[in-house]
Structure formats: structure tokens, C-alpha cells
Amino acid sequence: MTIEQTGQQDQWGINVENLPDFWVDSEKLSIMQDLMFSGINVMLTGDPGTGKTELTKRLAQAHNLPFHRVNVGAIRTPRDWFGHWEFIGGQTVFIQSEFVAAIQRPGIVALDEFNRVTPDIHNSIYTILDHNREVFIEETKQYISVHPRCIFIATENRGRSHTGTFMEDTAVEDRFETLQLTLPPIEIMADLLEKVYGATPDHALLLARITHKLNSLYHEESLSRPTGFRPAISAAALVKRGQPLNTALKYTFVNRFSPEGGVDSEQTTVLQVIQAYLK
């Protein structure tokens, strides 16, 4: 292939091996892209703060694809997917949604926090997500076909602390291949905290260690909430602004947990973890 051809090459369907400043297991990244470019819907699961939402956006950037994110939790009725009625100039008119426009062109459509709504909200897009890839919009009496290069990636927070989320029924499970995201390994997380968020090497490693330990305590059921990437990012930001390390840790990692129970509280557990790593 000549240089000219490479330069003009359509980026469609060629896997990237990694994403700048973002960690994802290389096998998962490769499988994910193979699924996407085969027209198979992907469901990203994992604790909050494992980069699910961010990954959908980064993939669009890496492949130069238009990106549209649907905040599924904001959808109140099954018809909201397609648009809403508005009273304009003395009559009610149907305003078609951005979602309907997005599915008719190439690109990535992220269905973010898909399990924040009851399954009946999903019903109206089932035919979009299965092999039919089309839908009849009652309001405009139109059949809409999904563009062959429109890629669906859904995300879901799963875990015991996720009140306000719903179990998927098999109708949804049948329409997606699931990939579970996890926190980056400690050293990689530390590198990112240093490089992207400006933490010193010592602080970066400390924040990564605390994050991993607290999240493993959640999975061992010693803490009621998971710990993803976010508290470490916030702590790095506070320290960068001149806050003492201890204060930063208190407002980001500690205060997320309940002080109830005094010495037996979750906050005490978190403080003990922090003390152990500060030594």
C-alpha cells in the first residue's frame, strides 16, 4: 500500500491497539472492536468509575466516528426515545429526537446507564437492537432503518449497592454481548494519575493503592460502596490546588462512607486503610 492510500484510508473497521491516556485490557479492547465492526451490540458492565462511559467516547474518537450519548436514566416513557410533542404556533407538533437522527447515520450511539430504567422503557427499541434494525415511529408514521455502520454500545452499573437500577430481562441480554470493565492495575492507574491528573509519583501510587484496596473491601462485602477511579482523580485535583494530602483524602475517599457505628463504622475502615498505606 502506498503512503497516499494509507493517508486516505477509511478508518472504519480497523482495530486500534490502545487508546491514548486510557487503559483497557488489550484483549477486551480487541474483542470489543471486533464485535462493534461486526454489527454486534456491546454491553459494558462493571463498577462505577471503571471507565464505561469514557470508553464509549474514546472509541468514537479513535475511529473518527460521530458520537451520540443517550442518558437512558432520563427517559421517562417508552416514546421518549423517538421525540416529544411541543405546542408551537397554535398546534402540537412532534419534535423528533437526536437519537432517531443518530441511528440513521454512521457512528457510535452510547446507551448510557441502560439499567437505570425499568425494562418496559426498553421495549420500544427492541427492533432497533435486534437483527431487524428498524422501527416504526407511530407519531410520524415512518419506518426508520438503522444505518449499517451505526454501532450501539450500552453501559450498565451492576452490583449490590445499585439501588435504582433494574435487572435485565433475557430480551435485553439476547441483544448484547457483555464485556466487564475493571479498574486498571495499580501501577497503570498510578501512571495515569501522574501523567493525566498531575499527581506526584508518590501520591499517584498511594491513591491507586487506596482505590484498589477499598474496592476489594467492597467486593469482600466489608464496605457498602464500590470505589472507582473518581475519588482518586478528585484527591489529585485537591492536592494540586494546594490542599494537604490528608484533607484531600478525607473529602474524597473517607466522606463517601457512613460514620455510623463509631469505631465499627465504614469510615473507620477506610481511615485504617489510608493509615496503613501512609506509613
Ligand X SMILES: Nc1ncnc2c1ncn2[C@@H]1O[C@H](COP(=O)(O)OP(=O)(O)O)[C@@H](O)[C@H]1O
Q: DSSP 3-state assignment of 156?
A: coil
Count residues contacting ligand X (CB under 6 A)? 18
Which residue, 22 or 176, is less far from ligand X as judged by CB? 22
Residue closer to ligand X, measured from CB, 50 or 115: 50
36/55 with CB nearer ligand X: 55
Q: Indicate which of ligand X, Mg ion, none lies near residue 22 (CB less than 5 to 8 Å, by partner kind).
A: ligand X
Per-residue x/- track, 138-177, ligand X (CB under 6 A): -----------------x----------------------
When binding is defined by CB under 6 A, the residue of 75, 151, 192, 236 that contacts ligand X is 192
Q: Is residue 22 near ligand X by the rule CB under 6 A?
A: yes
Q: Which is nearer to ligand X, 151 or 232 (CB)?
A: 232
Alpha-carbon separation of residue 249 from 49, 206, 244 (angstroms) = 17, 10, 9
231 is a site residue for ligand X (CB under 6 A) = no
The yes or no reply on residue 53 touching ligand X (CB under 6 A) is: yes
Grid cell 506509613 is found at 279
Closer CB to ligand X, 99 or 114, in the complex: 114
The sign of the dihedral angle between the CA atoms of 107, 68, 95, 75 is: positive
Strand partners, 68: 109
Told to check if 45 binds Mg ion by CB under 5 A, we report no
Choosing from 53, 56, 211, 215, the residue that interacts with Mg ion (CB under 5 A) is: 53
Cα–Cα nearest to 45, from 158, 152, 184, 170: 158
Cβ of residue 51: shortest distance to Mg ion, in angstroms?
Answer: 8
Is there a contact between 192 and 233 (Cβ–Cβ < 8 Å)? Answer: no
Determine the distance from the C-alpha atom of residue 234 to the mean position of all C-alpha atoms in its chain, rounded to a whole number.
18
Q: Does 52 bind ligand X (CB under 6 A)?
A: yes
Binding site for Mg ion (CB under 5 A): 52-53
Binding site for ligand X (CB under 6 A): 22-24, 46, 48-54, 155, 184, 192, 228-230, 233
